[in-house]
Chain A
Amino acid sequence: DQQVKQNSPSLSVQEGRISILNCDYTNSMFDYFLWYKKYPAEGPTFLISISSIKDKNEDGRFTVFLNKSAKHLSLHIVPSQPGDSAVYFCAADVQGAQKLVFGQGTRLTINP
Protein backbone atom coordinates (compact mmCIF):
# COMPACT_ATOMS: atom_id res chain seq x y z
CA ASP A 1 0.00 0.00 0.00
CA GLN A 2 1.82 3.06 -1.32
CA GLN A 3 0.66 5.93 0.88
CA VAL A 4 2.94 8.47 -0.82
CA LYS A 5 3.32 8.33 -4.58
CA GLN A 6 5.57 10.08 -7.02
CA ASN A 7 4.18 8.98 -10.34
CA SER A 8 6.98 10.37 -12.51
CA PRO A 9 10.16 8.29 -12.19
CA SER A 10 12.08 10.88 -14.17
CA LEU A 11 11.90 14.45 -15.40
CA SER A 12 14.13 16.34 -17.78
CA VAL A 13 14.21 20.18 -17.75
CA GLN A 14 16.28 22.76 -19.52
CA GLU A 15 18.62 24.91 -17.44
CA GLY A 16 16.96 28.16 -16.40
CA ARG A 17 13.41 26.85 -16.76
CA ILE A 18 11.05 25.76 -14.01
CA SER A 19 11.14 22.20 -12.63
CA ILE A 20 7.89 20.91 -11.15
CA LEU A 21 7.95 17.69 -9.17
CA ASN A 22 4.69 16.16 -8.03
CA CYS A 23 3.62 13.97 -5.14
CA ASP A 24 0.28 12.47 -4.11
CA TYR A 25 -0.69 10.93 -0.80
CA THR A 26 -3.60 8.86 0.39
CA ASN A 27 -3.45 9.06 4.19
CA SER A 28 -5.48 12.04 5.42
CA MET A 29 -3.70 11.82 8.78
CA PHE A 30 -0.49 13.16 7.26
CA ASP A 31 0.01 16.74 8.40
CA TYR A 32 3.62 17.50 7.62
CA PHE A 33 5.37 17.13 4.30
CA LEU A 34 9.02 17.34 3.33
CA TRP A 35 11.13 17.28 0.20
CA TYR A 36 14.58 15.73 0.09
CA LYS A 37 17.23 15.67 -2.60
CA LYS A 38 19.54 12.71 -2.96
CA TYR A 39 22.78 12.17 -4.84
CA PRO A 40 24.11 8.63 -5.40
CA ALA A 41 25.98 7.15 -2.43
CA GLU A 42 24.86 9.98 -0.15
CA GLY A 43 22.05 10.38 2.35
CA PRO A 44 19.00 12.51 1.49
CA THR A 45 19.46 16.24 2.00
CA PHE A 46 16.55 18.17 3.46
CA LEU A 47 15.26 20.88 1.11
CA ILE A 48 11.98 22.31 2.30
CA SER A 49 8.92 21.37 4.31
CA ILE A 50 5.33 22.43 4.76
CA SER A 51 2.76 21.99 7.47
CA SER A 52 -0.82 21.13 6.56
CA ILE A 53 -1.99 24.46 7.96
CA LYS A 54 -0.27 26.21 5.05
CA ASP A 55 -0.69 25.89 1.31
CA LYS A 56 2.65 27.35 0.26
CA ASN A 57 6.17 27.65 1.58
CA GLU A 58 9.11 29.32 -0.14
CA ASP A 59 12.84 29.12 0.41
CA GLY A 60 14.97 30.76 -2.24
CA ARG A 61 14.54 28.95 -5.54
CA PHE A 62 12.38 26.27 -3.94
CA THR A 63 8.63 26.53 -3.36
CA VAL A 64 6.36 23.79 -2.10
CA PHE A 65 2.61 23.90 -2.72
CA LEU A 66 0.10 21.81 -0.81
CA ASN A 67 -3.44 21.07 -1.97
CA LYS A 68 -5.07 19.21 0.89
CA SER A 69 -8.38 18.59 -0.81
CA ALA A 70 -6.58 16.87 -3.68
CA LYS A 71 -4.00 15.28 -1.36
CA HIS A 72 -1.32 16.62 -3.65
CA LEU A 73 1.89 18.54 -3.19
CA SER A 74 4.42 19.86 -5.62
CA LEU A 75 7.94 21.24 -5.53
CA HIS A 76 8.84 24.09 -7.87
CA ILE A 77 12.47 24.92 -8.59
CA VAL A 78 13.03 28.23 -10.34
CA PRO A 79 15.36 28.71 -12.13
CA SER A 80 16.66 25.17 -12.53
CA GLN A 81 20.43 24.75 -12.37
CA PRO A 82 22.70 21.83 -13.39
CA GLY A 83 23.49 21.16 -9.72
CA ASP A 84 19.81 20.42 -9.16
CA SER A 85 20.19 17.15 -11.07
CA ALA A 86 19.46 14.46 -8.45
CA VAL A 87 16.70 12.20 -7.19
CA TYR A 88 13.97 14.04 -5.31
CA PHE A 89 11.88 12.36 -2.64
CA CYS A 90 8.75 13.65 -1.06
CA ALA A 91 7.95 12.42 2.44
CA ALA A 92 4.97 12.69 4.73
CA ASP A 93 4.58 12.47 8.47
CA VAL A 94 2.05 12.68 11.21
CA GLN A 95 3.41 15.31 13.59
CA GLY A 96 4.69 13.65 16.68
CA ALA A 97 5.04 10.26 15.01
CA GLN A 98 8.37 11.06 13.33
CA LYS A 99 7.88 8.11 11.04
CA LEU A 100 8.50 9.50 7.57
CA VAL A 101 6.77 7.76 4.68
CA PHE A 102 8.63 8.34 1.43
CA GLY A 103 7.60 8.34 -2.19
CA GLN A 104 9.61 6.33 -4.70
CA GLY A 105 11.51 9.37 -5.93
CA THR A 106 11.78 11.32 -9.18
CA ARG A 107 15.08 11.61 -11.01
CA LEU A 108 15.49 15.20 -12.18
CA THR A 109 17.95 15.96 -14.96
CA ILE A 110 18.76 19.55 -15.82
CA ASN A 111 20.06 19.91 -19.38
CA PRO A 112 22.36 22.79 -20.36
Chain B
Amino acid sequence: KAGVTQTPRYLIKTRGQQVTLSCSPISGHRSVSWYQQTPGQGLQFLFEYFSETQRNKGNFPGRFSGRQFSNSRSEMNVSTLELGDSALYLCASRANYEQYFGPGTRLTVT
Protein backbone atom coordinates (compact mmCIF):
# COMPACT_ATOMS: atom_id res chain seq x y z
CA LYS B 1 0.00 0.00 0.00
CA ALA B 2 1.41 3.41 -0.88
CA GLY B 3 2.12 5.72 2.03
CA VAL B 4 0.98 9.26 2.67
CA THR B 5 2.21 11.61 -0.04
CA GLN B 6 2.64 15.35 0.20
CA THR B 7 3.29 17.92 -2.49
CA PRO B 8 5.31 19.95 -2.95
CA ARG B 9 8.22 18.76 -0.83
CA TYR B 10 9.88 22.17 -0.73
CA LEU B 11 8.50 25.66 -1.15
CA ILE B 12 9.89 29.17 -0.85
CA LYS B 13 7.48 32.07 -0.48
CA THR B 14 7.74 35.72 0.52
CA ARG B 15 5.96 37.44 3.38
CA GLY B 16 2.37 38.37 2.61
CA GLN B 17 1.87 35.65 0.02
CA GLN B 18 -0.37 32.65 0.45
CA VAL B 19 0.40 28.98 0.00
CA THR B 20 -1.51 25.74 -0.56
CA LEU B 21 -0.10 22.36 0.45
CA SER B 22 -1.52 19.04 -0.64
CA CYS B 23 -1.79 15.65 1.03
CA SER B 24 -2.94 12.28 -0.29
CA PRO B 25 -3.68 9.80 2.50
CA ILE B 26 -3.11 6.08 2.52
CA SER B 27 -5.80 4.36 0.48
CA GLY B 28 -8.83 3.64 2.67
CA HIS B 29 -7.90 6.17 5.35
CA ARG B 30 -10.61 8.76 5.82
CA SER B 31 -9.02 10.87 8.53
CA VAL B 32 -6.32 13.39 7.66
CA SER B 33 -4.51 15.55 10.21
CA TRP B 34 -2.02 18.35 9.73
CA TYR B 35 0.90 19.28 11.99
CA GLN B 36 3.52 22.00 12.02
CA GLN B 37 7.06 21.27 13.13
CA THR B 38 9.42 24.08 14.10
CA PRO B 39 12.66 23.97 16.11
CA GLY B 40 11.20 26.14 18.84
CA GLN B 41 7.69 24.71 19.23
CA GLY B 42 8.18 21.12 18.14
CA LEU B 43 5.33 19.23 16.51
CA GLN B 44 2.01 20.99 16.91
CA PHE B 45 -1.45 19.91 15.80
CA LEU B 46 -3.16 22.16 13.25
CA PHE B 47 -6.42 20.42 12.38
CA GLU B 48 -8.07 17.13 11.50
CA TYR B 49 -10.53 16.30 8.76
CA PHE B 50 -12.81 13.31 8.45
CA SER B 51 -15.31 12.80 5.64
CA GLU B 52 -14.77 16.36 4.41
CA THR B 53 -15.53 17.86 7.84
CA GLN B 54 -13.11 19.53 10.20
CA ARG B 55 -13.43 17.66 13.48
CA ASN B 56 -10.63 19.20 15.50
CA LYS B 57 -8.59 22.34 15.43
CA GLY B 58 -5.40 23.36 17.20
CA ASN B 59 -4.38 26.77 18.50
CA PHE B 60 -3.42 28.46 15.27
CA PRO B 61 -4.69 31.74 13.82
CA GLY B 62 -7.40 31.83 11.18
CA ARG B 63 -4.75 32.34 8.50
CA PHE B 64 -4.34 28.58 8.63
CA SER B 65 -7.18 26.72 6.98
CA GLY B 66 -7.80 23.41 5.34
CA ARG B 67 -10.24 21.28 3.49
CA GLN B 68 -10.81 17.68 2.54
CA PHE B 69 -12.22 16.33 -0.67
CA SER B 70 -14.55 13.39 -1.26
CA ASN B 71 -11.58 11.16 -2.14
CA SER B 72 -10.06 12.00 1.30
CA ARG B 73 -7.27 14.08 -0.21
CA SER B 74 -6.66 17.21 1.81
CA GLU B 75 -5.20 20.65 1.32
CA MET B 76 -4.09 23.24 3.80
CA ASN B 77 -3.80 26.91 3.05
CA VAL B 78 -1.83 29.60 4.82
CA SER B 79 -2.66 33.18 3.90
CA THR B 80 -0.66 36.34 4.52
CA LEU B 81 2.51 34.42 5.25
CA GLU B 82 4.76 35.51 8.08
CA LEU B 83 8.42 34.68 8.67
CA GLY B 84 7.39 32.56 11.64
CA ASP B 85 5.36 30.27 9.36
CA SER B 86 8.62 28.76 8.09
CA ALA B 87 8.34 25.15 9.15
CA LEU B 88 7.95 21.54 8.12
CA TYR B 89 4.25 20.85 7.54
CA LEU B 90 3.30 17.24 8.07
CA CYS B 91 0.17 15.43 7.05
CA ALA B 92 -0.95 12.19 8.70
CA SER B 93 -3.71 9.76 7.88
CA ARG B 94 -5.27 7.02 9.95
CA ALA B 95 -7.72 4.20 9.81
CA ASN B 96 -7.77 3.35 13.52
CA TYR B 97 -5.78 4.91 16.33
CA GLU B 98 -2.30 5.14 14.82
CA GLN B 99 -1.51 8.07 12.58
CA TYR B 100 0.86 7.56 9.65
CA PHE B 101 2.82 10.55 8.48
CA GLY B 102 3.91 11.75 5.08
CA PRO B 103 7.39 13.14 4.35
CA GLY B 104 6.29 16.72 4.89
CA THR B 105 6.48 19.98 2.98
CA ARG B 106 9.34 22.27 3.97
CA LEU B 107 8.06 25.86 3.71
CA THR B 108 10.50 28.73 3.87
CA VAL B 109 9.13 32.26 4.12
CA THR B 110 11.56 35.05 3.21
Contact = CB atoms under 8 A, between A and B. Distances in A.
Interface of A: 32, 34, 36, 41-46, 49, 51, 89, 91, 93, 95, 97-105
B55 interface: yes
A1 B81 CA distance: 26
A98 B103 contact: no
A100 B97 CA distance: 10
B99 interface: yes
Nearest to A49: B98
Given A44-B101, A51-B97, A102-B42, 4 more contacts: A43-B103, A46-B100, A46-B101, A100-B35
A98 B56 contact: yes
B56 A93 contact: no
B42 A98 contact: no
Contacts of A45: 101
Contact of B99 (A42, A46, A95, A105): A46
The 9 closest A-B pairs by CB, nearest first: A43-B101, A102-B43, A44-B101, A99-B56, A104-B42, A43-B103, A99-B45, A43-B102, A43-B104
Given A95-B97, A98-B94, A43 B4 contact: yes
Interface residues of B, number: 25
A93 B97 contact: yes
Nearest to B9: A41
A98 B48 contact: yes
Contacts of A97: 56
Contacts of B58: 99
| Residue from A34, A89, A98 with most neighbouring chain B CB atoms (10 Å) | A98
A103 B100 contact: no
B31 interface: yes
Contacts of A98: 31, 33, 48, 55-56, 94, 99
Contacts of B87: none
Interface string B72-107: 000000000000000000101010011111111010
B90 to A, nearest CB: 5
Contacts of A32: 97
